[in-house]
């Protein structure tokens, strides 16, 4: 697997966060998504939250109409979101846990404990030709549960790894990610990772040969303030490629 190109999914949620601060149209996350694709993004990710705090229903419709790269729709496992996903049929859906009060997606989905609730979502989305991914913590029991529920893809939560300072604790988180990614591919799951990644944390994760895709958003949008969105994506792409080389 070493040397396989690692895909970069660019999450445009926080372009919408800035737009929504004033309630108008600028900056447009769809324009950002098109620019991201030009800058080397292999796909675009957008999270339609229950409270619509950033991405809107109209953004999803426009992304589906205008994008020429795959759209990965992040969503909670609710009936409302299922109806929306089936209407648009994006390339992929990543099922994430969602709490209204949280600032961002704070933990992984409990696939092991939520099997009965989640199974119909996975089968209905899969039957519609949508590639289903489960956003989980790097734990064997969650990987086994994702496999048994029939999801072809998992995304490992990198938040805890990114939040701690460099040192032994970060190394421990990295090791967990590495072990989980290896195990995921061993049991036949495609493995992605994301949340909280930036230039100083992406290298060791990108070097994990079992990973096929990273999804990165907040840092890229923040860095765009200083160097521009295209440049921030190109630099991330270079950091990923350098770590893989
Ligand atoms: N992957 C998943 C499943 C997420 O929920 C998020 C945040 O929306 C990301 C990746 C991207 O995280 P960040 O914006 O911190 O790069």
Q: Is the pLDDT score of 100 beyond 70?
A: no
pLDDT in tens, 26-53: 999 999 999 999 999 999 999 999 999 9
Report the alpha-carbon distance of residue 182 to residue 32 in Å, rounded: 33
Query: Would 16 be classed as within a structural domain?
Result: yes
According to the model, what pLDDT value does residue 101 have? 66
DSSP state of 54: S
Residue of 74, 137, 139, 213 with catalytic role: 74
For 132, the 3-state DSSP assignment is strand
Q: Where are the alpha helices (DSSP H) in the chain?
A: 13-20, 29-38, 57-66, 79-88, 115-127, 140-149, 159-163, 168-186, 199-206, 218-227, 229-244
pLDDT at 61 over 50: yes
The domain tally of the chain equals: 1
Residue 102 resides in a domain: yes
Mean pLDDT across the stretch 83-91?
98
Residue 2 lies in a domain: no
Q: What is the 3-state secondary structure (H, E, C) of 102-119?
A: CCCCCCCCCCCCCHHHHH
Closest ligand 1 atom to the C-alpha of 215?
Answer: 10
- Name the residue at shortest CA distance from atom 5 of ligand 1: 105
Question: pLDDT at residue 2 above 60?
Answer: no
User: Does residue 132 line the site of ligand 1, with CB under 6 A?
Assistant: no
213 is catalytic: no
Point out the ligand 1 atom lying closest to the alpha carbon of residue 194: 10
Instruction: Look up 14 and say whether it is catalytic.
Output: no
54 is catalytic: no
CATH number, residue 175: 3.20.20.70
Given 173, 195, 213, 223, the catalytic residue: 195
Instruction: Report yes or no on 1 lying in a domain.
Output: no
Cα distance between residue 72 and residue 92, in whole Å: 5
Asked if residue 137 has its Cβ within 6 Å of ligand 1, the reply is no
pLDDT the model gives residue 98: 83
Record the pTM.
0.96
Q: Is residue 165 part of a domain?
A: yes
Does residue 1 carry a pLDDT above 90? no
Mean pLDDT of the region 226-233: 98
Rounded to the nearest angstrom, the distance between the alpha carbon of 217 and the centre of ligand 1 is: 6
Distance CA 240, CA 192 (A): 14
Domain that holds residue 16: 7-244
pLDDT for 144 beyond 50:
yes
Residue 79 is assigned to a structural domain of this protein: yes
């Amino acid at each position: 697997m070493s040397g396989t190109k690692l895909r970069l999914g660019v999450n445009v949620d926080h372009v919408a966060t800035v737009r929504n601060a004033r309630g108008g149209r600028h900056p447009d996350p769809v324009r950002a998504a098109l620019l991201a694709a030009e800058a080397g993004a292999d796909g675009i990710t957008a999270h339609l939250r229950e409270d619509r705090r950033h991405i809107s229903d109209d953004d999803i419709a426009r992304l589906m109409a205008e994008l020429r790269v795959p759209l990965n729709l992040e969503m909670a496992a609710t009936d409302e979101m299922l109806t929306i996903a089936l209407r648009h049929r994006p390339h992929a859906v990543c099922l994430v846990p969602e709490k209204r009060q949280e600032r961002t997606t704070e933990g992984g989905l409990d696939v092991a404990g939520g099997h009965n609730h989640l199974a119909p979502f996975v089968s209905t989305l899969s039957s519609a030709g949508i590639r289903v991914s489960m956003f989980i913590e790097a734990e064997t029991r969650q990987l086994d549960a994702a496999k048994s529920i029939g999801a072809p893809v998992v995304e490992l939560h990198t938040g805890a790894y990114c939040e701690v300072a460099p040192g032994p604790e970060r190394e421990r988180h990295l090791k967990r990610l590495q072990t989980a990614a290896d195990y995921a591919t061993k049991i036949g799951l495609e493995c992605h990772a994301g949340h909280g990644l930036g230039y100083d944390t992406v290298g060791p994760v990108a070097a994990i040969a079992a990973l096929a895709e990273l999804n990165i958003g907040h840092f890229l949008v923040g860095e765009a303030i200083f160097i521009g969105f295209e440049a921030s994506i190109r630099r991330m792409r270079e950091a990923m490629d350098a770590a893989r080389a």
